[in-house]
Structure 1
């Protein structure tokens, strides 16, 4: 860590103060947390502010299409065993939100930062991270993000020669391609349920061979690297072959994979796996995800799924039929306005569940469910959908802005 205890120039201090004032005004006006607008104002006043705020921190960056907010929380909890942490825990993951978060952590030793995939290279340049965690890449926000291979190429170019330790999922060929330009990579076998974005080789375009859990390109020889960390059932295997139990309050295989990657990151900073994994048990919900809330005499479990890979993982953790499922899909700018991704989701996995459909794009979803031969009802709103379900547990799955709408309605 740099020894300079106060890296901020007078201009930077003014930028931080102004950003906090604008954020507070935004909160007072009921317009959300204010972190993004506050960060934008601060960066206008001092364009180098993010770099200045990061220079006294040991920084971890976390990027992926799915799981980055949860993994950021898990890593932050683990690193608190070693010292104070500042983090953008609520998911404001572009430069303005990141700047705003770091401005609030003057006494922190570690910065644990979730970064939107498209901004990773730039944020890495500004923050000089000690470690970067790369979890997965899959199709998302089709109207805005270029195809996944181009994102992997951007990562690869942006991280080439990076001094950071790259903790990367060796089961995702796109992540491996992106990380392979870096001299110092720790490979984690975290698994990959969704494979539809990695059938062709990112190196040469050849057809990927996938025997069992392995993968390789028959054309150019690009292949799965040997992991030093691995998720094995309910345990994390460390580089010495020791198995450490994963105890999480968060459900599902995907979160165990997030915990395995988080343990590998914590080890970079000297936090042993046992300590890291024990601390991760503290995380109960992440920005409302996985929360169970009481609403109209039912227990609603709120689940976020933003893209085909996320929906696939979510279907694997819901309670078995006949538990009712409410699905809500919007297509506002924060979601991506193209809903063609609905056709990539295997909704036959919901067979046997009574389904209610809500959200701005409920009719798009209804057509998709009709083709998948599912039993469903289209409802005007959450209240009507809940009334159609019997008392007890309801699984509620929503994409990004639909999830925010649900949280507001249930008072979460």
Structure 2
């Protein structure tokens, strides 16, 4: 591979140019951002392109089942205090999308990259990251994602001996198991609301004991490490014991946890917590998530929830009853075609809300709500649901492709 001082090879330059041209054509044809198809073409022309583009950057990788897009955005904002940043802010988080994002900037100091859980080990190999943030692992896309224990094993093997500083959530046993093969780990107490994927020990299969916020395996002694950073109420506690206030425009406890991990990452690069957290306040919405939009003379707040852990966090954000709630679920390939995960979500938390159900798999969701004794109405589309909903702001919760459909419909 070329040395740090060398510009891109002629082949790499051709690959970047071709990728950008294909992406532009895709955008012009109205087929989305073009970042994935552009990246695929570029990597076909130069399979080493991702490594070449990353060689002059301080790369930070962010991976998790929930919160990686938001955390990537928060880290990027914080690190702008120390230099220009390039990031895959739109969430195209597999090698093609990542390659496209890095090809878009030549003067960046930092590359802050969200990575799909299944691709983390390979992207880490290609990009030689300085820092890797691991937030959580939970069940997701059951038809095509590996079982969570296998993903943790994949991370553990792929990151063994990495030179990167690993910033990892001490409250998630699967993440701790995965990160424990790395020599340089900073542990963050970011919390874990969804625990149903972490009752058996990832090390020996024994039953996990969970007294209070602690956890340990009674059989092999695998246990929660002592964190050096922690989320405490509305503050981040740093390794020196100082408490820094979190001021976010993004709602909910989960985003405070994301901000805590982001502050720990920023500190690796010399950005103090106060500066990092102040910069995070700039973030109002992330790829449409949390946006309040006007549609048919109503205020709609758009919330993304794509697996049981995400739905649980989202239910804690919504306004109290009788705020109307629209739920939209698809099962296209990007969502995972298996909807059995709906049975892992506690829909009794919506009791008292008027509920309206839309999306490709609205009938699957209707059966689940029926069993949970919820009052709901199945609607043909967003327009009908909004027309039928009682007055007031409407909370709209959707999984991945359903969320993209909603954004297109409301012009967001």
TM range (shorter): over 0.9
* Aligned mates of 2:139, 2:174 — CA distance in 1: 12
Asked if 1 retains the 8 angstrom alpha-carbon contact of 2:11 and 2:46, the reply is: yes
1:147-183 deviation digits (Å, cap 9, x = unpaired) = 0000000000000000000000000000000000000
Task: Quote the Cα distance in structure 1 between the aligned partners of 2:20 and 2:196.
Answer: 43
Question: For the Cα contact (< 8 Å) 1:23–1:38, is it kept in 2?
Answer: yes
Query: Matched residue of 2:335: which SS?
Result: coil
Is the Cα contact below 8 Å between 1:7 and 1:53 reproduced in 2?
Answer: no
TM-score after normalising by structure 2: 0.99
SS at match of 1:157: helix
Partners of 1:325 and 1:356 within 8 A in 2: yes
Instruction: Give the structure 2 partner of residue 218 of structure 1.
Output: 218
For the 8 Å contact 2:4–2:55, the answer to whether it is kept is no
Q: CA deviation at 1:12?
A: 0.3
The offset of 1:389, in angstroms, is: 1.3
1:3: how far off?
8.3
Give the SS at the match of 2:393.
strand
The superposition leaves residues 310-332 of structure 1 with CA deviations (integer Å, 9 ceiling, x where unpaired) of 00000001000000000000000
What is the Cα deviation at residue 105 of structure 1? 1.1
Distance 2:91 2:360 in 1: 23
| TM-score between both structures, scaled by the size of structure 1 | 0.99
Q: How far did 1:297 drift?
A: 1.2
Question: How far apart are 1:4 and its partner, in Å?
Answer: 3.5
State the alpha-carbon separation in 2 of the partners of residues 2 and 270 from structure 1.
28
For residue 2 of structure 1, report the CA deviation from its aligned partner. 11
Contact 2:301 2:396 (8 Å CA) reproduced: yes
Distance (Å, rounded) in 2 between the aligned partners of 1:375 and 1:391: 17
Aligned length: 412
Equivalent runs, 1:243-262 vs 2, <5 Å: 243-262=243-262
Instruction: Give yes or no for contact 1:228–1:238 (8 Å, CA) kept in 2.
Output: yes
Greater alpha carbon shift after TM alignment, 387-396 vs 191-200: 387-396
Asked if structure 1 preserves the Cα contact closer than 8 Å seen for 2:133 and 2:265, the reply is yes
The 8 Å contact of residues 152 and 177 in structure 1, kept in 2 or not, is answered as: yes
Looking at structure 1, the residues matched to 381 and 89 of structure 2 have their Cα atoms a distance apart, in angstroms, of 29
CA distance in 2 between counterparts of 1:147 and 1:259 reads 27
Structure 1 unmatched runs, 5+? none
Maintained 8 Å contact 2:83/2:110: yes
Structure 2 contact 230–237 (Cα < 8 Å) conserved? yes
| Secondary structure in structure 2 of the residue aligned to 1:392 | coil
* Corresponding residue SS for 1:196: coil
Structure 2 CA distance for aligned equivalents of residues 160 and 188 of structure 1: 19
Cα RMSD between the aligned structures? 1.1
Q: Write the distance in 1 (CA, Å) between the matches of 2:273 and 2:7.
A: 33
